[in-house]
Chains A and B, each alone.
Chain A
Amino acid sequence: MKRWFPAALAVLAVGLALYPLQATGYGVRVMLQLFMWIALAQSWNLISGLTGYVSFGHVVFFGTGAYASSILIVTLGWAWPLACLGGGAVAAVLALLIGWPCLRLKGPYFAIATLGLNEVMRVVVSYYEGLTGGGNGLSLPTLYASVEIYYAMGLVAAAVTVVTYVIVTSRFGLRLMTIREDEVAAEAMGIDTLRYKLYAFLLSAAAPGIVGGLSARDQGYIEPLSVFPLIMTITMIVMALFGGKGTIWGPVLGAALLFAFQEVVWARFIYLHQLLFGAIIVGVVLLMPRGILGVLQQKYNLPRTI
């Protein structure tokens, strides 16, 4: 495992980097979406996989980033790369503001609170019509930049994975995991759990914010319903869960497999798509809650860094 893996990764990276040169526009957009989902699932994993605090409204950071960066582009004329980074920053600030009070709540209540936050932001965005276009949505100036955005998304997905690796192999990551294992004992052992949870939450919000901005730029148009949907939160959760939450490559694997599945199924069974997705969710929860890599980890006593 140890020797061929980095080599295989390098080959994959080169392949992905060269992909746009001979792929169709549609192909590029599909892959770009895959990168987006990897970044989202990986980010959810950072807070919920490591600390055990279930963020059930995580798409709020995606939507906030989408609107923040789009507003920066439309009203202040920023270039999209900078605007997207701005979107990520705004999302991180939101995480800080909301995390400070909400991370003190216990399990189910934190989940409900984050769900509530998502709905609040959706309505707030609809309300400030002057800035956001309200229910009519916000249109961005026309731009054909799918290839550039493809690379940007890829970079973010890679960056989040690298950050996850660094965290999981560090003491910071260990401390996050103690929160998941036994928060009372962690506190008693001198770990300021609120502070650590906040850091994790902050980190988990930045990438969705950036990715939200990139997605908005690529689509050219956003509206509240399209960027704050509960189904997106659920999708990123199921992806992370399916691959293995709490692992490094689990979210990547889960995102890739489920995304491929969705592309195939959506094309053929449009009407049954939701039903099948519901069945998958139920299946994953009941049959493999530890996810593919989680199961492998347990069975073959693999290290934490897979």
Chain B
Amino acid sequence: MVKRFGGVAAVNGVSLALEPGRIYGLIGPNGSGKTTLFNCITGVDQADEGEILFKGRRIERMKPHQIFHLGVGRTFQVIRVFPELTALENLLVVTTSGYAEAQRRARELLALVKLERLAGEFAGNLSYGQQKLVEFIRVLMTDPEMILLDEPAAGVNRTLLNELLDAVRRLRDQGKTILLVEHDMKVVMGLCETVCVLDHGEKLAEGAPGVIQADERVIEAYFGR
């Protein structure tokens, strides 16, 4: 897939194939095109060339909300909860199921991350870590089949991070496809089964974490020549 901004190809001929029940990591130096790739998959941006298929369906021209309803959820690099809605309301707006059903599921998820007592608090008043959790469980409200996480570890303390990673592993065990963008190498290497490296919009390498870590080209890309 290719995506250009003006004359610059942010993503230049990247091909990926993702299977269910696995966790994939997407890494690369800043400006390598990771978030652009995410945006194209979720419909926030539109690819200039190439195809994006989800369960056999072409989605590259679809609007974000349509892609969401097909079963693709995402979180954002900069937390995007709705600040003037309560934590509970942040979750409620997402589903199309009946009000009672939605309430039940929302409270269930809040309990999962131990935030039930903050259900009625405005999301904008929550701490960074709490907002991060709300954004995370918000994605889970509709039980999507594929989840894209944009820097889930950013700014998160050790304890919280471990809980998040456990949750991600459990999702993987349920058969979901997980793709995450991350700068924290420990997280990536410890969590992901396959790692894909982007550099200047192109795919540099793809493989198991151990292989990638030893790859010279990857080291060069990160630390310069």
Contacts and interface: CB of A to CB of B under 8 A. Distances in A.
Interface of A: 171, 174-175, 177-178, 181-182, 184-193
B97 to A, nearest CB: 11
B91 to A, nearest CB: 10
Nearest to A174: B93
B76 A185 contact: yes
A185 B99 contact: no
A226 B66 CA distance: 44
B50 to A, nearest CB: 21
Contacts of B96: 190
In this complex, the member of B69, B76, B84 whose beta carbon has the largest number of chain A beta carbons within 10 angstroms is B84
Contacts of B42: 188
Interface in B94-127: 94, 96, 99, 102
Interface residues of B, number: 26
B21 interface: no
Contacts of B76: 185, 188
B82 A171 contact: no
Interface in B5-39: none
Contacts of A181: 82-85
B44 interface: yes
Report, nearest first, the 9 A-B pairs whose CB atoms are least far apart.
Answer: A190-B68, A185-B80, A187-B64, A181-B82, A174-B93, A192-B65, A190-B65, A189-B94, A188-B64
A193 B66 CA distance: 11
Interface of B: 42-44, 63-66, 68-69, 74, 76, 80-85, 89, 92-94, 96, 99, 102, 138, 142
A171 B83 CA distance: 16
A187 B85 contact: no
Nearest to A303: B120
A188 B38 CA distance: 12
B115 to A, nearest CB: 18
B83 A174 contact: no
B44 A188 contact: yes
A267 to B, nearest CB: 40
A286 to B, nearest CB: 22
Contacts of B43: 187
Contact of B92 (A174, A186, A188, A193): A174
A177 B96 CA distance: 16
B35 to A, nearest CB: 13
Contact of B80 (A171, A177, A184): A184
B65 A191 contact: yes
A304 to B, nearest CB: 8
In this complex, the member of B43, B65, B76, B89 whose beta carbon has the largest number of chain A beta carbons within 10 angstroms is B65
Nearest to B139: A189
Contact of A190 (B82, B85, B142): B142
Given A178-B82, A181-B84, A185-B80, A190 B89 contact: no
Contacts of A192: 63, 65-66
Contacts of A182: 80, 82
Contacts of B83: 181
A190 B69 contact: yes
B93 A191 contact: yes
Contacts of A188: 42, 44, 64-65, 68, 74, 76, 80
B44 A171 contact: no
A187 B83 CA distance: 16
Contacts of A171: 92-93, 99, 102
A64 B63 CA distance: 34
A191 B142 CA distance: 13
22 contacts: A174-B93, A175-B93, A177-B85, A178-B82, A178-B93, A181-B82, A181-B83, A181-B85, A182-B80, A184-B64, A184-B80, A186-B93, A187-B68, A188-B64, A188-B65, A188-B68, A189-B65, A189-B94, A190-B94, A190-B142, A191-B65, A193-B65
A177 B82 contact: yes
Contacts of A193: 65
A175 B89 CA distance: 9
A178 B42 CA distance: 18
Contacts of A185: 76, 80-82
